Chain A
């Protein structure tokens, strides 16, 4: 049984992943994201996406850290399935900037032009843990 306090246990469990996300984001030059605002902005994504069920696009829970094209049973484009991408703040930022530029032939066309809006949405997606 662990003798660590709750915060220490949480940091031990989540800290490395969170630190990696932060480092990746700042290294990319993206602004820091506000997950709360990202959750509000996510309403705009719900025309095609849901958190816990597949829609026009795949479910988003667990998307950060997931290999692109890997949700079981979802009908991805061959292009995305073969992309070799792993969704992290950098790849998600590039994807939300211009999906057809990052993965030509994929089925997503929606883009977010505002870097802060992308950062906020990505911060929200990072909270959707499995």
Chain B
């Protein structure tokens, strides 16, 4: 049976993981990135190849309310899960809201916690909570070098081309993300010269696809970039912001949103609006995905077959 993100069986597995995800491990095979929940990734990592990248998101270091009074602890759990992988991933992507209030001490503490992953190179895009200081400068003081202070840039790693986008500094009414004309033009030009067989990964904080615009879960002006991605044989679009795992496939473009390492949010449209969801304390690690779940083996086996078929 062919399986993977384009297969309903795989979609069901992802749906089961909808409240899971201290982070997401992506395996690369045949130019296609296949996601596994970080807390369940031990088995596929050993049988289906080296994990290519890990996505973490929405760590909100500095947050200390009822939804999670120990965000340092849950990020540490995610870091420990990465360290426990049988093989070290080649990249770590953080899709923003690393901090809650953009305070210098929050960035310092987050950097200290993330140092626990060792020498894995990390790339990060800003979330709106990372640029909440008056001059929006603290994020760029720490992580602005790669983008020359713009928050968007591109790079290549192991034959995969990455675009890091900043959609939190030109947000629109209702909370929709915004990229701005300059960034959209830059991204289109960056993609234009690439061969269609180049695997592409685009990552940003807010969803680049319309998940639930009424709650601001989308990006107002991402359309031209998504259109540009359609000609590629493999394109993966990653984001955070909504604190839950949701995936979909359009042609050769696969979209994944990551869970938060800090606290969950309601499913799209459930309740009056987005915001931290308080769950009983003994269930928090479960909704952050740091508890192993029973679908682990089935999911791993299905994807192992899929990857073997792609090789």
For the residues of A in contact with B, the DSSP-based class is: loop
Residues of B within 8 A of A47 (CB): 274-276
Interface of B is mostly: loop
Residues of B contacting A75 in the complex (Cβ-Cβ under 8 angstroms): 133-134
Nearest CB on A from B267, distance (A):
13
Q: Which residues of B contact A110 (CB under 8 A)?
A: 175, 216, 273-274
Contact bitstring B162-186, A, C-beta under 8 A = 1, else 0:
0000000001111110000000000
Number of B interface residues, CB 8 Å?
A: 26
Assess whether B19 is interfacial by the CB under 8 Å rule: no
Give the contacts of B257-311 with A (CB-CB under 8 A). 271-278
Report yes or no: B173 in contact with A111, Cβ–Cβ below 8 A: yes
In Å, the complex CA distance between A99 and B172 comes to 10
Partner of A45, one of B67, B132, B176, B275: B275
Q: Is the CB of B214 within 8 A of A113?
A: yes
Interface size of A by Cβ–Cβ distance < 8 Å? 22
Let me know if B173 and A99 touch, CB within 8 A: yes
* Alpha-carbon separation in the docked complex, A41 to B276 (Å): 11
Please, which residue of chain A has its CB at the minimum distance from the CB of B277?
A: A43
B94 at the interface (CB under 8 A from A): no
Please determine whether B65 and A50 come into contact, CB atoms closer than 8 angstroms. yes
Instruction: List A contacts of B272 (CB < 8 A).
Output: 41, 44, 112, 114, 117
Closest Cβ–Cβ distance, residue B288 to chain A (whole Å): 16
Residues of A in contact with B (beta carbons under 8 Å apart): 41, 43-47, 50, 55-56, 75, 98-101, 107, 109-114, 117
Given contact pairs A109-B128, A112-B273, enumerate 6 new A-B contacts (beta carbons under 8 Å).
Answer: A43-B275, A46-B65, A56-B100, A75-B134, A111-B174, A111-B175
Q: Could you name 23 residue pairs across A and B whose Cβ atoms are closer than 8 Å?
A: A43-B276, A43-B278, A44-B273, A44-B275, A44-B276, A46-B65, A47-B274, A47-B276, A55-B101, A56-B100, A56-B101, A75-B133, A98-B173, A98-B174, A100-B173, A107-B132, A109-B171, A110-B216, A110-B273, A110-B274, A111-B173, A112-B272, A117-B272
- Nearest 4 A-B pairs (CB), nearest first? A44-B275, A100-B173, A75-B134, A109-B175
